[in-house]
Amino acid sequence: MNYFNISYFPDYVYIPLYYLIGFIVVAVLMLFVVLFLVLLERKLLGFFTVRVGPNRVGFHGALQTVADAIKLLFKEDIIPLKADKLLFTLSPILVFAPIMTVWAYIPFNGFFAVQNSVVGSLIFLSLLSFPILGILFAGISSANKYSLLGSLRACAQTLCYELPIFISLLSVVILSGSLDLNDIVSAQSINNNCFGWFIIPSLLGFITFYISSVAMMNRVPFDFPEAESEFVGGYHTEYSGMKFAMFFLAEYASMFILCAFMATIFLGGFLSPFGKYISDFLPLSDLIKTPLIFIEQFFWLILKTMVLVVAVIWTRATLPRLRIDRSLEFFWKLILPLSILNIFIVCLIKLFMGAR
């Protein structure tokens, strides 16, 4: 399924054009999403903590993050004297690029996903394992002990959240019988309402996935790689200007994209919770219906993602930080067994409820 297919272009024009358009759409979308998310987080945190939040630049502070981004762009780019310059420059890119890439695999609606793959969900999570390399390199190359300790913590944490996250994904794969994200979404439309979503048979899996992905985003209560009160800035202590901005962008982009992924595999993705009401009930011609469905499905995915994003921000506003060893215990001794138990439950459901 390609989002546009014009047969009179020769291949050598068509293929680059296809990816170029995909890239531009994803890049622009990501830029807006990140700018919006930073503002949303600051506004929400303001709301949670009896403050106003940014309200000076633009309409109710709408341009605050734009102003911040411009400020970061013009800041001096400092590389510490003893830093390994190559790794130091490479690591923000290593963090940023995979997170940028995975956007291509999310089906934003039934018509548009830049890249379709039969193993889409696997590629998605595998690519998201790469940023840890960037974080590790950042810690090693900065020649700063805070950075080093922060990045080592990040590595220790990676080991413990990746297993539950993949095992939770496995439960969805068992239910849908496919690794393709489009197939996973369409497998959830069987009942034609929200009861077909995989969150119902695999509730435990959703919870373990959610907790693990909060750890993957390095956010409170699992934010020890950048624990402010302990390691100042953690792995990005020495970074400034655009390099820091890339870490910053990556954090928010990964927050959005992981929530979108969760929405896709557990909450029915772009499906509406009330079934296909547009194509079934509205007396309109296909020419109007198709763009309407295009927008409607996009809207549902963004809405579900936003609900999850707000939950993540809310968690940040509520909880203190865990201790690193407690966090490792928590993942190895509780979340991992729970996700395996979830596989067992899902298998039983699959066995007795028959083909879904």
Stretch that binds other proteins, among 48-56, 121-129, 194-202, 259-267 (CB under 8 A): 48-56
Contact 150/231 with Cβ under 8 angstroms? yes
Stretch that binds other proteins, among 84-92, 167-175, 226-234, 279-287 (CB under 8 A): 226-234
For residue 29, give Cα distances in angstroms to 54, 264, 316. 23, 17, 25
Establish if 230 lies at the interface with other proteins (CB under 8 A).
yes
Establish if 50 lies at the interface with other proteins (CB under 8 A).
yes
Residue 112 CB, nearest distance to other proteins (Å)?
A: 37
Establish if 320 lies at the interface with other proteins (CB under 8 A).
yes
Establish if 85 lies at the interface with other proteins (CB under 8 A).
no
CB-nearer residue toward other proteins: 184 or 324: 324
- Using the structure block, give the residue that is written with the tokens 């083909």: 355
Q: Which of 15, 27, 318, 337 binds other proteins (CB under 8 A)?
A: 318
Establish if 43 lies at the interface with other proteins (CB under 8 A).
no
Establish if 325 lies at the interface with other proteins (CB under 8 A).
yes
Cβ-count burial 187-210 (b if 16+ within 10 Å, e if not): bbbeeeebebbbbebbebbbbbbb
Establish if 82 lies at the interface with other proteins (CB under 8 A).
no
Burial tier of 352 (Cβ tally within 10 Å: 0-12, 13-18, 19+): exposed
Binding mask 127-146 for other proteins (x = CB under 8 A): ------------------xx
The torsion region of residue 144 among left (phi > 0), alpha (psi -120 to 50) and beta comes to beta
Establish if 42 lies at the interface with other proteins (CB under 8 A).
no
- Contact partners, residue 179, CB within 8 Å, separation at least 6: 118, 119, 120, 121, 122, 173
- Using the structure block, give the residue that is written with the tokens 């990676």: 158
Count of positions on this chain that bind other proteins (CB under 8 A): 28
Residue 41 CB, nearest distance to other proteins (Å)?
A: 11
For residue 127, give Cα distances in angstroms to 115, 162, 178, 324. 14, 12, 19, 25
Establish if 229 lies at the interface with other proteins (CB under 8 A).
yes
- Using the structure block, give the residue that is written with the tokens 């369409």: 186
CB-nearer residue toward other proteins: 25 or 338: 338
Binding mask 287-306 for other proteins (x = CB under 8 A): --------------------
Q: Which of 25, 45, 57, 340 binds other proteins (CB under 8 A)?
A: 45
CA 310 to chain centre: 13
Give the C-alpha separation, 90 to 120, whole Å.
26
Q: Which of 7, 49, 76, 281 binds other proteins (CB under 8 A)?
A: 49
Please list every residue from 146 through 175 that binds other proteins, using CB under 8 A: 146, 149
CA 71 to chain centre: 26
What stretches of the chain show up as alpha helix (H) in DSSP?
Answer: 11-48, 64-73, 85-102, 120-127, 131-141, 145-176, 181-187, 203-216, 228-231, 241-266, 277-281, 286-318, 324-330, 336-353
Stretch that binds other proteins, among 34-42, 128-136, 190-198, 223-231 (CB under 8 A): 223-231
Q: Which of 93, 143, 155, 232 binds other proteins (CB under 8 A)?
A: 232
Establish if 76 lies at the interface with other proteins (CB under 8 A).
no
Establish if 87 lies at the interface with other proteins (CB under 8 A).
no
Establish if 228 lies at the interface with other proteins (CB under 8 A).
yes
Binding site for other proteins (CB under 8 A): 45, 48-51, 145-146, 149, 220-221, 223-224, 227-230, 232, 316-326
